[in-house]
Structure 1
Amino acid sequence: MQPPSRRTFLALGLLTLTACTADHTGPTAGGPGLRPDPDVPVRLRAIAAVDALLAGYDTLTPPDARTAELRAEHVRHRAALAEGLPPSTPSPSVTTTGPGAGTGAGTGTPTATSTPTPAGPAAGGPAALELRTAETLLADLDTASPSLARLLASVAAADTRHAALLGTPVPPAPVQPAATPSAPPTATPARGPSPEALTALQNALGAEHAAVYGYGVVGARLPEDPQRADARTAHAAHQAQRDGWQRLLTSLDVAPAPAAGGYQLPFPVGSPADATRLAAHLETRLTTVYADLVAAVPVPHRRAAALALRDCTLRAHRWGAPGQPFPGIADPAPSPTATPTAG
């Protein structure tokens, strides 16, 4: 990878652009003449998948500190997925044992009180269950509301990071077929992507322009070792993702935004340690861009955005970024101490 020839710097701002997304404010209350919330069956399927994963972790004897921490994250996932259920829908409860269990604040092991159907924890162990759960969540992207789709994609990304932590390699998604339309349109669609969706796509493209440049800086500061090879691989992946969004925008008759003329680094990068920190920063910021993109783009392109979120989450993990229970989004799990405000 050649050092960058331009005297430009990576713009932190480009990586903090977020899309305007349609927010799903919650389920429709039951009552005469009101339609049931279509998110309810999606949430229930996701909760069942997480319950099966929790049951798989319960078979580990004895659990170690790492698997206890991962299991605690899944309790938080489950709480976030159950948050949107209407009051009339029975929601299996989850209890915890030990200080801070299920909140990340302590080391206690959370325990699910529901009785899920095990997914065969012996077939590959927790890592295989993590990957199966991630795919189950992604399978429902097309039928979920925008905000629930974002949550499903975030939890699936966390699951794949868990699988990597448990020693199972996760290959990157094939960018080219995922990021372009499956077939040319045969007629003018009645309704094209919303302005919010196009803005989110341009934000993702701009963030990838910045990441491509950023990895030029990263590679120039690393010695010839496996880390520099990882930087080359990530650089190529971001180039491919950038090109994918450019093709998609062009297919929508929208001019792709060009790379910016100048970039600013978020911090000085003068050593291999700085370069590693920059790579982790780039990937972490991109998870926010892609989580928002999942919620903003039309249904046919949600999976491409979700897989980009997953891959950025995995690369952030490899570069040493702290693990996030909900990559790309703020923790949506309900707080047990929260109280409603008047007015």
Structure 2
Amino acid sequence: MHPPSRRTFLALGLLTALTACTADPRGDRPAGPGPTRDPDTPVRLRAIAATDLLLGAYDNLLTVPGAQTALLQPLRDDTVQHRAALVQGLPTASPSPTSTPYRSLPTLPELALMEHRTAEAHLHDLAEVSPALARLLASVSASNALHAAALGDQTPITTPDAATGGTPATAAAAVPALQTALSAEHAAVYGYGVVGAHLPDDAQRADARTTHAAHQAQRDAWQRLLTTLTAAPTPAAGGYQLPFAVTSPTDATKLAVHLETRLTTAYADLLTTVPAPYRLPTATALRESTLRARRWGAPATPFPGIPG
């Protein structure tokens, strides 16, 4: 293991299937096991239906003379990619997704609210689906939250209550992933100390202070969770190697983008390994880093945390 001074941010780049048993139609013997049902399919269909409503709303708005095409078209393009990714996981024998067309002409605030509510809806089934779909839904939800913010919605995304805990075996299995999340936040706290030190005493430095405090709070939350699982939280390293030299406000802003973007990837990856009861707080952390990365100037992406 490298000594603490060599630890690098780059290293952080970081239902059981139901069997249908039915009675024989003649009533004289039970039928054999039926086909295995994929728990992801109904969740995908619901997510596709919500996405189709968004696409209909975008299409309606884009037909209006003088529509804000420069704002709306990239968001619609992201939504098309969301739908393609959600459809890709459907079994070939699944019924075709259906949705109710959005027939009225929404205002921008109404469209922002639709994006906001879709971001929330994608998080309701995280504990019930496969790890791969949980990662995709959390990423798409973060993108929907970005869209809502771009359209003017500044209200926080409300998430379902996180039912963390589970069996002792589940809790024990969560420890490695939660330690990874904690290490990522230790690095972010260190990094924002550097960011703030190289920004002028203006609104940007105030933003850096606020973000630094947010990462301290997230670090503390992971530490408390690990403590409840009777695991000793991993301490912060004595120092972290930066990905590049920071000597100016421009470098500091670039570092902030790097920190948040790397965190989105780390949290998206964790969603494929963290046990189901711990997916929601991980998805929440992914969304918050996505929003912060965008505020610092990161380019928009339809799938935050999922490169390519």
**TM-score band w.r.t. shorter chain:** 0.7 to 0.9
- State whether residues 160 and 170 of structure 1, in contact with CA within 8 Å, keep that contact through their aligned partners in structure 2: no
Indicate conservation of the 8 Å contact 1:138/1:156, yes or no: yes
Which segment drifts farther, 244-253 or 162-171? 162-171
Deviates more, 1:302-311 or 1:57-66: 57-66
Q: 91, 94, 103: which is aligned to 2:96?
A: 91
User: Shift of residue 121 of structure 1?
Assistant: 6.2
Q: Unaligned 5+ residue runs, structure 2?
A: 20-31
Bigger share in helix: 2
Letter in 1 for 2:39: P
Does the CA-based 8 Å contact 1:14-1:210 persist in structure 2? no
Residues 271-299 of structure 1 deviation map (CA, whole Å, 9 limit, x = unaligned):
00110010011000000111122232222
- Aligned residue in 1 for 2:13: 16
The answer to whether structure 1 residue 81 and structure 2 residue 89 are counterparts is no
Shift of 1:329: 1.1
Matched, 1:304 2:281: yes
Equivalent positions of 1:214-225 (< 5 A) are 214-225=191-202
CA distance in 1, matches of 2:260, 2:103: 32
When residues 303 and 253 of structure 1 are mapped into structure 2, their CA distance, relative to the original with a 3 A threshold, is same
Report how far residue 88 of structure 1 moved. Answer: 1.2
Q: Whole-Å Cα distance in 2 between the matches of residues 268 and 172 of structure 1?
A: 35
Aligned to 1:272: 249
From 65, 69, 73, the counterpart of 1:68: 73
Q: What is the Cα deviation at residue 267 of structure 1?
A: 0.6
Q: Aligned match of 1:229 in 187, 206, 215?
A: 206
Tell me what 2:46 maps to: 45
Rounded Cα–Cα distance in structure 2 between residues aligned with 1:131 and 1:119 = 19
Query: Structure 2 length normalisation: TM-score?
Result: 0.84
Aligned equivalent of 2:28: none
User: What amino acid is aligned across from residue 314 of structure 1 in structure 2?
Assistant: L
Q: Report runs of 4+ in structure 1 exceeding 6 Å deviation.
A: none
User: For residue 151 of structure 2, what is the amino acid of its counterpart?
Assistant: L
Q: 1:146 aligns with which of 131, 135, 158?
A: 131
Q: 1:257 aligns with which of 234, 252, 256?
A: 234
The equivalent residue for 1:103 is none
Counterpart selection for 1:162 from 147, 151, 154: 147
Contact 2:50-2:99 at 8 Å conserved across structures: no
Q: Is the 8 A contact 1:10 1:213 kept in 2?
A: no
Kindly provide the amino acid, as one letter, of the partner of residue 134 in structure 2.
Answer: A
Distance 1:307 1:278, change over 3 A: same
- Whether 1:134 and 2:119 are equivalent positions in the alignment is yes
Distance in 2 (CA, whole Å) between partners of 1:172 and 1:261 is 35
Instruction: Report if aligned partners of 2:172, 2:229 keep a CA contact under 8 Å in 1.
Output: no
**Structure 2 CA distance for partners of 1:119 and 1:229, relative to 1, 3 Å:** farther
Per the normalisation by structure 1, the TM-score is 0.76
State whether structure 2 residue 115 is matched by structure 1 residue 118.
no
- How many aligned residue pairs are there? 284
Question: Is it true that 1:206 corresponds to 2:190 in the alignment?
Answer: no
Higher CA-based Rg:
2
- The structure-2 alpha-carbon separation of the partners of 1:172 and 1:115, relative to structure 1 and needing over 3 Å to count, comes to closer
Deviations 1:177-198 (A, max 9, x none): 978x77xx7xx93523354x32
- Give the match for residue 171 of structure 2: 193
C-alpha deviation, 1:33, in angstroms: 3.4
Distance in 1 of aligned mates of 2:89 and 2:33 = 20
Q: Deviations over 1:60-116 (max 9, x none)?
A: 124402211110111110010011111112335xxxxxxxxxxxxxxxxxxxxx763
Question: Which residue, out of 264, 287, 291, partners 2:264?
Answer: 287
**For the residues of structure 2 that align with 1:193 and 1:66, how far apart are their CA atoms?**
44
Q: Give the Cα separation in 1 of the matches to 2:142 and 2:175.
A: 24
Counterpart of 2:23 in structure 1 is: none
3-state SS of 1:296 partner: coil
User: Residue 36 of structure 1 aligns with which residue?
Assistant: 37
For residues 304-325 of structure 1, the C-alpha deviation after alignment (integer angstroms, 9 at most, x for no partner) is 1111111000000000011111
Q: 2:215 is matched with which residue?
A: 238
Query: Distance between the aligned counterparts of 2:238 and 2:302, measured in 1?
Result: 35
Whether contact under 8 Å (2:138, 2:286) holds in the other structure is yes
The answer as to whether partners of 2:116 and 2:157 remain within 8 angstroms in 1 is: no
**Residue 330 in structure 1 maps to residue 270 in structure 2:** no
Supply the distance in 2 between the matched residues of 1:43 and 1:121 (Cα, whole angstroms).
26
Q: For structure 1, which runs of at least 5 residues remain unmatched after alignment?
A: 1-6, 18-27, 93-113, 332-343
Identity of aligned residues (%): 59
How far off is 1:119 after superposition?
9.1
